Amino acid sequence: MKSVSFIQRNTQGHWVGDGFPVRTLFSYNDDPAAFSPFLMLDYGGPMNFEPTSQRRGVGAHPHRGFETVTIVYDGEVSHRDSSGGGGTIGPGDVQWMTAASGIVHEEFHSEAFGRAGGPFRMVQLWVNLPARDKMAPPGYQGITAAQTPTLALPDVNGEDAGTVRLIAGEFQGARGPAHTFTSMQVWDVQLKAGHTVNLPAPDGHTTVPLVYQGRVKTADGQEAGDAEMIVYERAGESVQLTAMADTTLLWLCGEPIDEPVVGYGPFVMNTPQEIQQAFVDFQSGRMGRL
C-alpha cells in the first residue's frame, strides 16, 4: 500500500479570463517530477453566475507540448480550436484536447448557460506528453457522460461504496474512452460516507487523487477535504481511503515521464530552445488560427 507524502492545498484563487474562477493546486512551476505525468490542475468554482448576454470565458490562445482535460460538474463550457475540434460539454462530460505540435483554442461558457446563469464547477488538468509525442498532430476528444463507463465500487467488506466513472484507464476489466499517450487512470469516483475502499495504483506510478467535494481519511489517519489533493509515495500497489462524508473524488494516477520539463506560459517542452521555437511558430501562424 502506498504511503502519503503530503497533502497539497491552495486557498488563493484567481480568474482565467472572465469565466473561470480557479485555484491552481499545482503547476509545472512547483515540482514537476512529483506530479508527472500531470503538469497542472485548476480547481474551478464553485460559483453562481448571474444571467448575461455577454460571452464569459477566455479568448483565442495557443498551447504546445501537452494535453488539456476539462471536466465539468455544473454549468456548460464551449470549446473551439484550430484543429477543427470543438463542442459544448455539460455535467459529466469531458473535453480532452491534445495540443502536441501546436493548437489555438478558445473556451467560453455556452450561450445557453450564459443566458440562464447558475452554478458552475469544473476542473482543468494539464497532462504532459513525452518528448517523442510533443510534435504529434493536435487533436480533440469530446467525451460525453453517456460514453463513460460507470462501475460499482465495493468497499473492503464487499458492500456498495459508490461508483467509478472511467474517463481514462482501466478498472475491473473495463476501459475509459479517452486515448492517452502514456499509461494513466483518470476516474470520477463517488464515495458513500462511512465506507472504506481500496483503489488500485500501480507500483511506481504517481498517485494524486483530488477531493473535489467531501472528506476522506487516509490509511495513516490524515484527512483531506474540498479542493485538497493527496500526494502519495510511488512505492506500493494500492491506496486505502475512508469517506468521512459523501465524496466526489477525481482519481489521478499515471506513469511518470522521466524527462526535463521546461515550461513558459502556454507551452511545455523539454528545452528552452524548444520554448523559443514555440513562440516563433505561434507568431508566424504555424499553430493555426481560429
pLDDT tens for 93-135 read: 999 999 999 999 999 999 999 999 999 999 999 999 999 999 9
Residue 34 — pLDDT band, cuts 50, 70, 90? very high
Residues shown for the chain: 290
Residue 225 — pLDDT band, cuts 50, 70, 90? very high
pTM score, whole prediction? 0.97
pLDDT for res 154? 98
pLDDT, average across residues 247-269: 98
pLDDT for res 6? 97
240, three cell numbers: 486505502
Identity of residue 282: F
Residue 50 — pLDDT band, cuts 50, 70, 90? very high
Answer for the pair 125, 41: CB distance below 8 angstroms, yes or no: yes
Residue 49 — pLDDT band, cuts 50, 70, 90? very high
Answer for the pair 254, 208: CB distance below 8 angstroms, yes or no: no
pLDDT for res 141? 97
**182, HSE (Cβ side, Cα atoms, 13 Å):** 21
Dihedral angle over CA of 263, 68, 207, 223, nearest 10: 100
pLDDT for res 216? 98
pLDDT, average across residues 77-86: 95
Choose among 138, 8, 146, 125: nearest CA to 71.
Answer: 125
222, three cell numbers: 490524515
Question: What angle is formed at CA 76 by the lines to CA 138 and CA 78, rounded to 5 degrees?
Answer: 35
pLDDT, average across residues 14-26: 97
3, three cell numbers: 504511503
**128, HSE (Cβ side, Cα atoms, 13 Å):** 28
Residue 211 — pLDDT band, cuts 50, 70, 90? very high
SS (H, E, C) the chain: CCCEEEEECCCCCEEECCCEEEEEEECCCCCHHHHCCEEEEEEEEEEEECCCCCCCEEEEEEEECEEEEEEEEECCEEEEECCCCEEEECCCCEEEEECCCCEEEEEEECHHHHHHCEEEEEEEEEEECCHHHCCCCCEEEEECHHHCCEEEEECCCCCEEEEEEEEECEECCEECCCCCCCCEEEEEEEECCCCEEEEECCCCCEECCEEEECEEEECCCCEEECCEEEEECCCCCEEEEEECCCEEEEEEEECCCCCCCEEECCEEECCHHHHHHHHHHHHCCCCCCC
pLDDT, average across residues 194-223: 98
Q: What is the mean pLDDT of the chain?
A: 97
Answer for the pair 135, 99: CB distance below 8 angstroms, yes or no: no
Q: Among all chains, which residue has been given the C-alpha cell 494500492?
A: 238
pLDDT tens for 146-180 read: 999 999 999 999 999 999 999 999 999 999 999 99
pLDDT, average across residues 130-141: 97
Residue 72 — pLDDT band, cuts 50, 70, 90? very high
The contacts of residue 140 (CB under 8 Å, 6+ apart) are 79, 81, 83, 84, 85, 86, 95, 96, 97, 98
